[in-house]
Amino acid sequence: MNIALLGFGVVGGGVYELCRKRTDLSLRRVLVRSDKPEIASIATRSFDDILSDPSIDTVVEVMGGIHPAKEYVCAALNAGKHVVTANKALIAACYDELIALARKNGVALRCTAAVGGGIPWLINLERVKRLDSLSQVGGIMNGTTNFIMDAMHAAPVSFADILKKAQELGYAEADPSADIDGDDIRRKLAISANIAFDTALSETEIPTFGIRTVTDGDIASFQRRGFVCKLIATALRCEDGVCAFVEPTLVSRQEPEAAVPANYNLITYTADAIGRQSFFGQGAGRFPTAANVVQDCLDVLGGKTAFYSVPSAAAKLCADAVAHPYYVRTAVMDPWLTSITADHWEGGVITSAVPVGQMLRWAKERLAADPTCFIAGIR
C-alpha cells in the first residue's frame, strides 16, 4: 500500500513511526504546513502533488477540523483513492456525504480512530452487528473531561484549577470548549449511533450539557450519597427512532464507569443476544490513536472496503423517550423546577423523573439566565 499522509502533528507523527517499521505500508508523501527536516524527501505543501500521483492508493487524513480536510478527502475519494481518517468532526458533520462518495467510487472510507482513539470500538460495533441487534451504545468517550472529573473526586479542587492542570499536561486544548461543553463526545456519539443503528442522526441535534459549571461543592454532595459524576453519552433504540443525549450523570460507586481513571474511556454497547460489553482504554494519544489508523490501513490492504454500516435510513431523534431524576443547582428556582422538585440536597434539588429532552432544553435556556447552573442525570 502506498500512502499519502495529510498532517504531521501528534497523530501523524505516530502514523509515520508505525509505518516506517513495515514493508507492506509505504509512506510516499506527507502534506505539511511548515518545513519538517526529518521527512524532507517526502514532504509537500501541495495537495495536488498527492492527488496527481497515480502510485498513491490511500490517503490518511489526520489534520483535524472540517476545512480543508473535507475538500482533500472528497478529492481523494473522487480520484479513486482509499481514505483512512481519525477526524471525528469531519465524519460527524459529513457522514452521509462521505459514505456515499466512497461507495460511488468503489473505494474504502475507514475511521476507527475517530471514536475512542486507540480503542477498537467501531470495528467491534461492525462485528457484533453481523449476528446480533444493538439496543444501546455510549459511555465515557472523552478523556479530557474524565481526567477533570476523576481529579475532582480524588481531592477537593476547583474546576478552574484542574482544567488548568489538564491544559498543562496536554490533555486539554488552550480553548477547551469542545471537550468541557460536550461537543467532542456528542460527535463521537453521533458516529457510534449511526453505525450501531444504521441511521443518519445529525450530531448538532443531539441535546447536550457539559461539565463547565460543575463545582467541588457539587462533587462533595454526590460523594456523600455514594455517587460519582461522569460525562456520559447515551444512544438507544426507541419505538419512534433513536434516543440520544450527552449529560453529566451520577452513577453508583459500584458501576464500572465510576472506576474509570484519569484520561481513560469506557465505551459500551448492549446487544439482544450477548448483552453488555465494554471497551476500556486510551481515548486519545499519539500511538494509541495512530495504531488504529494503521490498523485501518491494514484492513483496507487486506481487501476491506465496505463502511461499518449499511446505507443509512432516516431516523427520528426522540430524546424525550427516556426519563429519570436529576440533580439541579441554580441560583433561583422557577415555577417549573419547583413543580418537579422531589428532594433537596446541599446546594441543589432532586427532581422527579423528567424526560431527558425536556430537562436539557430547560437547562440550555436556564444557562442564559444563570450561567452557573449545573444539572446531572441520576441513573
Let me know whether 101 and 143 are in one domain: no
Give the model's pLDDT for residue 183: 97
pLDDT in tens, 47-69: 999 999 999 999 999 999 999 99
Only one residue has cell 491544559, namely: 167
Give the model's pLDDT for residue 310: 87
Cross-strand partners of 102: none
Q: Which of 53, 76, 110 is the last residue of a domain?
A: 110
Give the model's pLDDT for residue 314: 77
Give the model's pLDDT for residue 14: 96
Give the model's pLDDT for residue 223: 98
Let me know whether 166 and 95 are in one domain: no
| Sign of the dihedral defined by the CA atoms of residues 120, 86, 270, 231, in that order | positive
Give the model's pLDDT for residue 220: 97
Mean local confidence (pLDDT), 271-281: 97
pLDDT averaged over every residue in the chain: 96
Give the model's pLDDT for residue 240: 84
Mapping DSSP onto H, E and C, the string for 317-355 reads ECHHHCEECEEEECCCCCHHHHHHEEEEECCEEEECCEE
Let me know whether 52 and 148 are in one domain: no
Amino acid at 116: G
pLDDT in tens, 89-133: 999 999 999 999 999 999 999 999 999 999 999 999 999 999 999
Q: Is residue 115 part of a domain?
A: no
Let me know whether 214 and 92 are in one domain: no
What's the CA gap between 228 and 211, in Å, rounded?
13
Let me know whether 261 and 323 are in one domain: yes
Confidence bin at 4 (pLDDT 50/70/90)? very high
What's the CA gap between 171 and 334, in Å, rounded?
37
Mean local confidence (pLDDT), 343-348: 96
Q: Is residue 358 part of a domain?
A: yes
Let me know whether 83 and 230 are in one domain: no
Q: Is residue 21 part of a domain?
A: yes
From residue 348, alpha-carbon distances to 246, 333, 376 in Å are 20, 10, 11
* Neighbour tally for 75: CB within 10 Å: 16
Let me know whether 268 and 140 are in one domain: yes
Note down the domain range covering 164: 136-282+316-378
Q: Residue 115 contacts by C-beta under 8 Å, 6 or more apart in sequence? A: 88, 121, 122, 141, 188, 191, 192, 267
Q: Is residue 193 part of a domain?
A: yes
Let me know whether 69 and 191 are in one domain: no
Only one residue has cell 495537495, namely: 47
Let me know whether 144 and 254 are in one domain: yes
Q: What is the CATH number of the domain that holds 320?
A: 3.30.360.10
Burial pattern 278-305, b for ≥16 Cβ within 10 A else e, equals ebbbbbbbbbbbbbbbbbbbebbbeeee
Let me know whether 76 and 157 are in one domain: no
Let me know whether 47 and 90 are in one domain: yes
Cell triple for residue 190?
A: 453521533
Cell triple for residue 56?
A: 498513491
Let me know whether 224 and 105 are in one domain: no
CA 198 to chain centre: 18
Number of domains in the chain: 2
pLDDT in tens, 171-203: 898 999 999 999 999 999 999 999 999 999 999
Cell triple for residue 314?
A: 432516516
What's the CA gap between 196 and 199, in Å, rounded?
8
Give the model's pLDDT for residue 170: 85
* Neighbour tally for 134: CB within 10 Å: 22
Cross-strand partners of 116: none
* Neighbour tally for 157: CB within 10 Å: 16
Q: Is residue 300 part of a domain?
A: no
pTM: 0.97
* Neighbour tally for 359: CB within 10 Å: 28
Give the model's pLDDT for residue 372: 97
Q: What is the CATH number of the domain that holds 63?
A: 3.40.50.720
What's the CA gap between 379 and 377, in Å, rounded?
6
Q: Is residue 122 part of a domain?
A: no
Q: Is residue 311 part of a domain?
A: no
Give the model's pLDDT for residue 96: 93
Q: Is residue 188 part of a domain?
A: yes
Q: Which of 10, 170, 186 is nearest to 91 (CA)?
A: 186
CA 152 to chain centre: 22
| Sign of the dihedral defined by the CA atoms of residues 238, 244, 250, 256, in that order | positive
Cell triple for residue 191?
A: 458516529
Q: Which of 127, 298, 99 is nearest to 200 (CA)?
A: 99
pLDDT in tens, 81-101: 999 999 999 999 999 999 999
pLDDT in tens, 231-264: 999 999 998 899 999 999 999 999 999 999 999 9
Kind and range of the H or E run holding 268: strand 264-271
Give the model's pLDDT for residue 285: 86
pLDDT in tens, 286-338: 999 999 999 999 999 999 999 999 877 778 999 999 999 999 999 999 999 99
Q: Which of 62, 92, 110 is the last residue of a domain?
A: 110
Catalytic residue annotation: 188
